[in-house]
Every structure is written in C-alpha cells, then in structure tokens.
C-alpha cells in the first residue's frame, strides 16, 4: 500500500495500473480556466422612465444537466444597484464575495447599511457612494485585467442602477472586458431571443424614457417566458429586480405564469418526429 500523501484518495496502482499524475506537474505551460463548468444562462434587462428592470432565472446547469434549481443570479449592491450574472457560477460567487468586500469598504466612509445577506435596509442612493456607473467601470477594469492575465472570469454581467446624473443606467461587461450599453440588454441566449422583443418596446433611450414600470416589468416577464420556451438551459423559476430611486425591489422566487406550449406542436425538425 502506498501511503504517500499524493496517493491519498487515488485509485490503487496495483488494481488500476499506474496513475496518470501528469496534471499535477507544475512545469509546462500555465493553464487557467479554459471553459465555464457550472453555468447560468441569460440575464435580461430593460430601462424604463424611473429605473431599470432586470431578470435572470434560478438555474445553474452542469453542461446539459439542470444541476441546481435555486441559484440566485441577481445581487444588489449598496441597495442602489443590481448586478446580474450570466456564465460560470463559481466565478459569479467569486465576484459576489468581491463585491461584498467593496460594499464593506463603502460602509467605512458612509454611515449607511450596505446590502448583502447579513444586513438589508431599503435606503436610496446616497451622495458619495459608488453608483451603478462607477460599479460597472470597476467591473470592466477587473474583467479586462483578468482576461489580460489569461485567467478570465467566465461571465457576462449586466449592471443596472443609476449614473451620476441620476439617470437610469444599464451596461454590460463580459469575460473579455468588452463593455456595452443600450436601453435594453441581454446576455447569452437572451441576446438572440429576448433582445429583439425588448427592442420593440425600447429601441432608443427616448422610447425607454416613455416606458412605465409596469410595461417594462411585463416585457421582461414575457421575455423570460420566451427564453424558457426556446432555451433548453433555462428554468421557469426566476429572479426579477426593479431598480428605482427608492431602492431595489428584488423577488427571487418568481414562477412563470400563463405558459402556452401550443406552439410546440408545430415545431418540426428534431426529436422523434419524422418530418
């Protein structure tokens, strides 16, 4: 029996043959994340006249396996902004912890409760605190830095909140550090499936500034339904947040309503059907 620590928990050589320990070798090229492992699918968001609506479903997939069905992919920041994460879930958790630290830093200077699992107080935007635009800039630098180190955080995130002029703010940053902003945004499959729908309602900033809160929420809910119909890595339970000047209203256990699968009958080209 081999009692050396590196053999602990490994298949026995005498039974299974020599163990391939090549991956333990520290020489050779350095490798970092090559692909995401446990993933979240789309995040979608749209601006309206008083703020931003953002949503993401509660599924974390392991490949095509629906592995975790209660993963919350929206997180509030300082009760004034919301970050939605698509992509690798462990990288999301890393970013979540990192943002937690950033929020604690903010609490040093300002006598305001910063949100998080431990403390929750609905306070509006406070002067001097990092707003969504600042937060997005920071995340963009972080993501770009990581991709330049060839060790990217495998996410695309949306940041929703307000900018320094107190106007609704919505922007995205991805694993390459690419930033983008638009009256409506979607990551992953949502970019293909939800974005065109949202653009019908808010093609321009002016359109978005005319949308009411209810309209925006309805569009987002409708998009979540479409995504559930067509994206095989999605779920009918989702989180939705409305960011306004009054703060963040986040519901984390919403259920898709009034689904209608009648359209599925007409779909041809896969499964057991023969044309």
Partner 1 sequence: MFRNNYDNDSVTFSPQGRIFQVEYAAEAVKQGSVVVGIASKTHVVLVAIKRNAEELSSYQKKLFPIDEHVAIAIAGLTSDARVLSNFMKQQCLGHRLTFGRSMPVRTLVEIIGSKAQINTQHYGKRPYGVGLLVAGVDDHGPHLFEFQPSGMTEEMVAFAIGARSQMARTYLEKNIDKFADCDREELIRHGLRALKESLVQDRELTIDNTSVGVSGVVKAEDGSSKVEPFQVYDQQDVTAWIESVADDKEGGAGTGETEAEGMEVDS
Partner 2 sequence: MTSIGTGYDLANSIFSPDGRNFQVEYAVKAVENGGTSIGIRCKDGVVLAVEKLVTSKLLKPNANKRIATVDRHLGVVYSGMIPDGRHFIERARDEARAWRDTFKTPIATADLASRMGGYMQAYTLYQSVRPFGITAIVGGFDSAAETPVDGEVGNGPACGAGGKVAGKTHGGPFLYMIEPSGLYWGYYGAATGKGRQAAKAELEKLDLGGPGGPALTMEEAVKEAARILYVAHDDDKEFELEMTWISGADGPTKGAHHEVPKALREEAERLAKQAQEEKMEE
Binding residues for partner 1, rule: CB under 8 A, are 109, 127-128, 130, 133-134, 137-138, 141, 164-165
Q: Is 66 in the site for partner 2 (CB under 8 A)?
A: no
Choosing among partner 2, partner 1, none, which partner's interface includes residue 111 (Cβ < 5 to 8 Å by kind)? Answer: partner 2
What distance lies between CA 141 and its chain's CA centroid? 17
Task: Give the chain's radius of gyration (CA, Å).
Answer: 22
Contact between 8 and partner 2 by CB under 8 A: the answer reads no
* Contact range with partner 2 by CB under 8 A, out of 47-55, 118-126, 203-211, 234-242: 118-126
* 33 a catalytic residue: yes
User: Residue 20 and residue 24: Cα distance in Å, rounded?
Assistant: 9
Using CB distances below 5 to 8 A depending on partner kind, what does residue 134 bind out of partner 2, partner 1, none?
Answer: partner 1
Do 39 and 61 touch, CB atoms closer than 8 A?
yes
> CA 168 from chain center: how many Å?
19
The answer to whether residue 78 forms part of the interface with partner 2 (CB under 8 A) is: no
From partner 2, partner 1, none, interface partner of 66 (C-beta below 5 to 8 A by class): none
How far is C-alpha 165 from the chain's CA centre?
25
> Considering only 20-28, 102-110, 143-151, 221-229, which stretch makes contact with partner 2 by CB under 8 A?
102-110
| Dihedral over Cα of 150, 152, 158, 161: its sign | negative
**Whether 10 contacts 16, CB under 8 Å:** no
Question: Minimum CB separation from partner 1 for residue 179, in Å?
Answer: 11
What binding mask, one character per residue, do residues 205-244 give for partner 2 by CB under 8 A, x or -? ----------------------------------------
Q: Which one of 90-98, 123-131, 140-148, 220-228 is the stretch in contact with partner 2 (CB under 8 A)?
A: 90-98
Catalytic residues: 33
């Amino acid at each position: 029996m081999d009692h050396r620590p590196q053999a602990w928990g490994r298949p026995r050589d005498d039974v299974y043959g020599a163990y391939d320990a090549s991956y333990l070798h520290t020489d050779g090229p350095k490798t970092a994340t090559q692909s995401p492992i446990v993933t979240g699918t789309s995040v979608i968001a749209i601006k309206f006249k008083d703020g931003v609506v953002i949503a993401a479903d509660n599924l974390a997939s392991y490949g095509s396996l629906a592995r975790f069905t209660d993963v919350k992919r929206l997180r509030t920041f300082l009760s004034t902004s919301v970050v939605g994460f698509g992509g690798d879930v462990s990288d999301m958790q890393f970013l979540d912890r990192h943002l937690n630290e950033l929020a604690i830093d903010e609490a040093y200077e300002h006598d305001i409760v910063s949100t998080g699992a431990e403390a929750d107080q609905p306070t509006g935007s406070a002067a001097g605190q990092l707003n969504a635009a600042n937060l997005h800039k920071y995340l963009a630098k972080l993501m770009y830095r990581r991709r330049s180190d060839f060790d990217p955080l495998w996410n695309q995130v949306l940041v929703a909140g307000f900018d320094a002029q107190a106007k609704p703010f919505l922007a995205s940053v991805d694993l390459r550090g690419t930033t983008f902003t638009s009256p409506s945004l979607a990551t992953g499959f949502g970019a293909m499936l939800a974005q065109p729908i949202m653009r019908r309602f808010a093609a321009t900033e002016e359109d978005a500034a005319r949308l009411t809160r209810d309209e925006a929420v309805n569009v987002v809910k409708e998009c979540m339904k479409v995504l559930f119909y067509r994206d095989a890595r999605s779920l009918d339970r989702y989180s939705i947040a409305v960011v306004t000047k009054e703060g963040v209203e986040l519901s984390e256990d919403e259920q898709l309503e009034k689904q209608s699968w009648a359209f599925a009958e007409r779909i041809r080209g896969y499964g057991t059907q023969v044309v």
